[in-house]
């Protein structure tokens, strides 16, 4: 018995800095409370209670991040969690975007709302009004604990200091998303089909990641990223390094939506409830790029010349495929999905510069893209034709004449996606492309040229939506009694969430310098 006790003794010496990981504990604690609410609170009160718990949990986690984690930057839990400048910033960004996404998920038709498929809401009896609110709601209440679990997994993903913690975080964030994709109230078959595709392809990507992690463990004798970085210069099993890195990157590139792992993106974005699509598009990309930054910059950057050409090709083809297929789409959600693929390529261009300024550019781009995306999908959710979401570009024709304020705000977001000056998209592209030109060598310059050309291509798709909204011709069937797209009047929480996205989209474009300086002070990794 004595040897067994001696072997177990080192595990008792693992120190945990609870202040450093307190934001994650708050989010997971809120998720567990939310599960209990789902089981024990009545159906009438459940929606408001779940929404309140979710928002309070995320706000509380953000407060803990600012007051505790920011002053406890350490490697804790035997190196499984690394709280440093990069992880603190990305966790804060995830918390803010998750909070405003959940506000949009909680949207329901209120008594003062106007809709396109029912009489005036004020003329409907109370019981019918509640039933109508249930049908118009974006999601069922089960998504609130799922969203919290997914957010907690994303926070783990960006702070994971070893491959096992990274894999566990990948699964914790992925499994709730598979379920959330399938909970659409309408077009359920499309939603469930999208969830099945996401689950199957996601399972393959997780297997790739786990196989790559096993190879890297065989290479270094450890799953710690810091040990792997040291082993690159002294390992006796160098043949396992490159395949281990490649397979591990496959798992993360899938979550980013980069080519050739992008095929799930349009189907899942189209099939999932629109507010959940915004949550996935923004937060999953932030979490995946955060993990990719740590994996590559901390763990395997010393061997990058063995696999860098592969990432150059991935970045170039991702931009080209995303841009070309964006132009061919007639569905708003699929258009934004392929746009997301193109943006993943733009971020990879900056990522591949391998400099501190590149880390700053990637994080700035993630923040700019995240706020614009959540707001855009939140606004798309409000456009309806006879009770169904109007996702066809053709259905948006003449929307600017009937709802000029809505169309004007959405046009600002489209300018941000296109990278027009005085919007966050323009500043973000500069922040990502300039390090590639300066530190990426000839390959970086080529990638930037491809990125600029692809930006022009995608801009055509965005302006096609704007043209449809503001088009004023007789083909719009207002006078013929045919169904036309209308905009639901959102609740105050949804208005606040969308306003946050629009304000940040403009602010990061008009006043970029102070914010870029802040980003420049949050680019240090702990080993």
Query: Mean pLDDT throughout 153-180?
Result: 92
Whole-number pLDDT of residue 370: 93
* Per-residue pLDDT at 100 exceeds 60: yes
- N- to C-terminal Cα separation, the chain: 37
Q: Using the predicted structure, report yes or no on whether residue 480 has a pLDDT greater than 60.
A: no
58: pLDDT strictly greater than 70: yes
What is the band of 337 on the pLDDT scale with cuts at 50, 70, 90? very high
Residue 464 has pLDDT above 70, yes or no: yes
Position 84 scores a pLDDT of 86
Q: Where are the domains of the chain?
A: 307-527
Residue 206 in tokens: 């997780």
Q: Residue 277 pLDDT > 60, yes or no?
A: yes
Rounded Cα gap, residues 267 and 406, in angstroms: 27
Name the band, by pLDDT with cuts 50, 70 and 90, for residue 59.
Answer: very high
Lowest mean pLDDT among 36-45, 192-201, 306-315: 36-45
State the Cα angle at 102 between 490 and 495, rounded to 5°.
Answer: 25
What is d(CA 430, CA 346) in angstroms, rounded to the nearest whole number? 10
Collapsed DSSP state (helix, strand, coil) of residue 524: coil
pLDDT at 523: 67
Q: How confident is the model at residue 150 (pLDDT cuts 50, 70, 90)?
A: very high
pLDDT digits (tens, 9 = 90+) for 117-133: 333 333 334 444 444 44
- Max Cα separation, the chain? 88
Q: Residue 128: helix, strand or coil by DSSP?
A: helix
Express each pLDDT in 494-527 by its tens digit: 899 999 999 999 988 888 877 777 766 666 776 6
In angstroms, rounded to a whole number, what is the distance separating the alpha carbons of residues 397 and 410?
A: 14
Q: Is the pLDDT reported for residue 8 higher than 80?
A: no
Radius of gyration of the chain (CA): 23
pLDDT of residue 1: 38
Task: Assess contact for 362 and 351: CB atoms under 8 A.
Answer: yes
Integer CA distances (angstroms), 263 to 91, 201, 256, 258, in order: 28, 9, 12, 9
Cβ distance 331 to 389 under 8 Å?
A: no
At 339 the pLDDT is 92
Higher pLDDT, 336 or 233: 336
Q: What is the pLDDT of residue 292?
A: 93
Provide the pLDDT for residue 133.
43
pTM of the predicted structure, to 2 decimals: 0.89
Other C-beta atoms closer than 10 Å to the C-beta of 151 total: 33
The whole-chain average pLDDT of the chain stands at 83
| Predicted local distance difference test score (pLDDT) of residue 493 | 87
Could you tell me which residue, 6 or 89, shows the higher pLDDT?
A: 89
Share of the chain above pLDDT 90, in %: 41
- The DSSP string of 23-81 is HHHHHHHHHHHHHHHHHHS-HHHHHHHHHHHHHHHHHHHHHHHHHTGGG---EETTTTE
CA 141, distance to chain mean position in Å, is 21
Residue 5 has pLDDT above 50, yes or no: no
Q: How many CA atoms lie within 13 A of 136 on its CB side?
A: 29
Confidence category of residue 468, pLDDT binned at 50, 70, 90? confident
Q: Environment class of residue 420 by beta-carbon count within 10 Å: exposed (0-12), middle (13-18) or buried (19+)?
A: middle
């Amino acid at each position: 018995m004595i040897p067994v006790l001696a072997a177990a003794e080192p595990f008792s010496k693992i120190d945990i800095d609870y202040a450093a990981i307190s934001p994650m504990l708050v989010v997971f604690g809120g998720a567990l409370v939310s599960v209990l609410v789902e089981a024990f609170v009545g159906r009438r009160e459940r929606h408001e209670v779940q929404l309140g718990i979710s928002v309070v949990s995320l706000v509380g986690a953000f407060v803990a991040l600012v007051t505790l984690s920011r002053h406890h930057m350490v490697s804790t839990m035997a190196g499984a969690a690394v709280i440093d400048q990069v992880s603190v910033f990305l966790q804060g960004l995830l918390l803010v975007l998750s909070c405003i996404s959940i506000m949009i998920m909680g949207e329901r038709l209120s008594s003062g709302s106007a809709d396109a498929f029912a009489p005036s809401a004020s003329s409907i009896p109370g019981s019918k009004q509640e039933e109508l609110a249930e049908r118009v709601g974006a999601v069922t209440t089960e998504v609130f604990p799922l969203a919290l679990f997914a957010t907690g997994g994303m926070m783990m993903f960006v702070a994971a200091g070893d491959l096992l913690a990274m894999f566990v975080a990948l699964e914790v964030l992925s499994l709730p998303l598979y379920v959330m994709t399938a909970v659409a109230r309408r077009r359920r078959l499309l939603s469930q089909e999208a969830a099945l595709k996401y689950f199957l392809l996601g399972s393959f990507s997780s297997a790739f990641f786990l196989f790559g992690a096993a190879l890297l463990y065989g290479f270094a004798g450890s799953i710690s990223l810091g040990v792997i970085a040291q082993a690159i210069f002294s390992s006796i099993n160098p043949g396992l390094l490159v395949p281990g890195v490649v397979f591990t990157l496959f798992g993360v590139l899938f979550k980013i939506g980069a080519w050739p792992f992008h095929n799930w993106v349009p189907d899942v974005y189209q099939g999932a409830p629109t507010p959940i699509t915004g949550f996935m598009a923004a937060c999953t990309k932030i979490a995946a790029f955060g993990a990719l930054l740590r994996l590559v910059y901390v763990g395997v950057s010393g061997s990058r010349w063995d696999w860098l050409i592969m990432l150059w090709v991935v970045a170039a083809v991702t931009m080209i495929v995303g841009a070309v297929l964006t132009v061919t789409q007639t569905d708003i959600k699929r258009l934004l999905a392929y746009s997301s693929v193109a943006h993943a390529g733009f971020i990879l261009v900056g990522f591949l510069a391998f400099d501190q300024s590149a880390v700053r550019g990637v994080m700035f781009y993630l923040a700019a893209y995240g706020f614009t995306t959540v707001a855009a999908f939140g606004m798309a959710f409000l456009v309806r034709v006879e009770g169904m979401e109007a996702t066809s570009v053709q259905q948006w024709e003449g929307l600017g004449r009937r709802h000029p304020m809505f169309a004007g705000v959405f046009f600002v977001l489209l300018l941000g996606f296109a990278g027009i000056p005085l919007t966050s998209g323009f500043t973000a592209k500069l922040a990502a492309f300039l390090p590639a030109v300066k530190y990426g060598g000839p390959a970086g310059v080529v990638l930037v040229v491809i990125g600029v050309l692809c930006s022009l291509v995608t801009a055509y798709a965005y302006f096609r939506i704007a043209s449809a909204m503001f088009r004023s011709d007789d083909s719009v069937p207002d006078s013929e009694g045919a169904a036309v797209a209308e905009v639901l009047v959102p609740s105050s929480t949804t208005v606040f969430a969308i306003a946050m996205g629009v304000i940040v989209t403009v602010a990061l474009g008009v006043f970029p310098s102070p914010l870029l300086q802040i980003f420049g002070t949050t680019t240090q990794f702990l080993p």
